[in-house]
């Protein structure tokens, strides 16, 4: 009972935050809404027993990525009020249809009960075991490192002001 209530409240925050991103009039508000959403997702992780992941979510997403977006907003001066243009493309419609389909599939599974949640260890040590063990995700871990390097170099190069370098 308590669990469900907690879940419901947290979900509401997630959804509200998401809605805010899409529908907020001013972009700045949208970014803040994003922050709210991401934090709520961290809460979700905690209810699932993934504490380590929740912390990463807060640090990287709610911390780094949101700041990144704030800079973007400021540098592109797109906080200016944009006139509400009518939605002419069928894009949103397809999103809605897609959503309907997804929900349909979920419903179709028949909600077979999975049994009690087996409490999986969510602490740093266990996660670390999985990430760094060579039989599991050690290689992808290294590759992600290289990816981050590439992304960093790319972003710096793209965004440079000076044509000299």
Contact positions with other proteins (CB under 8 A) in 10-69: 11, 14-15, 18-19, 21-22, 27, 30-31, 34, 37-38, 41, 44-45, 47-50, 52-53, 56-57, 60-61, 64-65, 68-69
Q: Minimal distance in Å, beta carbon 141 to other proteins?
A: 8
124 touching other proteins, by CB under 8 A: no
Of 9, 25, 99, 142, the residue at the interface with other proteins (CB under 8 A) is: 99
15: Cα within 13 Å, side-chain hemisphere: 6
d(C-alpha 62, C-alpha 44), whole Å: 14
Maximum Cα interatomic distance, the chain, rounded to a whole number of Å: 64
Query: Which of residues 81, 134, 139, 158 is near other proteins by CB under 8 A?
Result: 158
Residues in the interface with other proteins (CB under 8 A) total 87
Shortest gap between Cβ of 164 and other proteins (angstroms)? Answer: 16
**Distance in Å, CB of 165 to other proteins, minimum:** 15
Which residue, chain included where needed, has tokens 């997804």?
102
- Residue from 85, 139, 163, 165 in contact with other proteins (CB under 8 A): 85
Indicate the burial class of 163 (C-beta count within 10 angstroms; 0-12, 13-18, 19 or more).
exposed
Q: Cα 18–149–165 angle (5° rounding)? A: 105
Closest CA to 37 of 7, 13, 66, 68: 13
Q: Which of 9, 25, 101, 142 binds other proteins (CB under 8 A)?
A: 101
* Integer Rg of the chain from CA: 20
């Amino acid at each position: 009972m308590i669990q469900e209530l907690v879940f419901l409240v947290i979900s509401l925050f997630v959804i509200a935050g998401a809605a805010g991103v899409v529908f907020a009039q001013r972009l700045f508000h949208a970014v803040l809404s994003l922050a709210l959403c991401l934090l709520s997702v961290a809460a979700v992780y905690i209810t699932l027993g993934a504490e380590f992941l929740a912390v990463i979510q807060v640090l990287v997403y709610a911390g780094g990525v949101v700041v990144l977006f704030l800079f973007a907003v400021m540098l592109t001066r797109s906080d200016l009020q944009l006139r509400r243009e009518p939605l002419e493309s069928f894009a949103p419609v397809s999103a809605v249809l897609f959503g309907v389909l997804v929900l349909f599939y979920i419903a179709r599974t028949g909600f077979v009960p999975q049994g009690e949640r087996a409490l999986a260890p969510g602490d740093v040590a266990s996660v670390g075991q999985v990430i760094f063990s060579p039989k599991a995700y050690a290689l992808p871990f290294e590759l992600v490192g290289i990816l981050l390097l590439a992304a960093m170099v790319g972003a710096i190069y793209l965004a440079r002001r000076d044509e000299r370098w």
